Amino acid sequence: MQATATVLVYSDDANTREQVRMAVGRRPAADVPPVEFVECATLPAVIAALDQGGIDACVLDGEAVPAGGMGVCRQIKDEIFHCPPALVLIGRPQDAWLATWSRADAAVTHPVDPVALVGALAGLLRGRLHLDAA
């Protein structure tokens, strides 16, 4: 198992980024490594961080302005080679179809439900880290 997992958190709202960090904590599950966060408030920062590599999963705020997380997700899935799995925070359960359109690997409603977020993120990390080990 690798020493740490790096999770990119994108939102223009510092409070949303903090909610994600606090919900996930230091380790989302016993069978995944401790998490380090890379916080981004703008689309250019997201692209730059992904271009540098080393990101194991992304949490994208679907309500971010001016670039919403669903549009960002679709863009990075199209543009980033071996794009890490992405979890999108959606405003309502009815918006799940938009998360599917964005090619998100998971979706959780906002405000952040810590149990749902941790479960979904741990699942994405397990899949990503298993693929990287192969």
pLDDT digits (tens, 9 = 90+) for 65-107: 999 999 999 999 999 999 999 999 999 888 888 899 999 999 9
Q: 3-state DSSP call for residue 12?
A: coil
Total domains in the fold of the chain: 1
Average pLDDT score, the chain: 93
At 120, the pLDDT band (50, 70, 90 cuts) reads very high
At 134, the pLDDT band (50, 70, 90 cuts) reads very low
- For the CA atoms of 15, 20, 21, 24, the dihedral, rounded to the nearest 10 degrees, stands at 160
Q: CB-based burial of residue 24 (10 Å sphere; 0-12 exposed, 13-18 middle, 19+ buried)? A: buried
Cα 113 from Cα 122, distance rounded (Å):
14
More confident residue, 1 or 94: 94
At 117, the pLDDT band (50, 70, 90 cuts) reads very high
Q: What is the pLDDT of residue 131?
A: 46
Q: What is the pLDDT of residue 23?
A: 96
Single-letter code of the amino acid located at 55 = I
For residue 18, what are its two tokens? 């903090």
What is the reported pTM? 0.94
| 85: containing domain | 5-133
Question: The CATH number of the domain where 23 resides is what?
Answer: 3.40.50.2300
At 61, the pLDDT band (50, 70, 90 cuts) reads very high
Single-letter code of the amino acid located at 38 = V
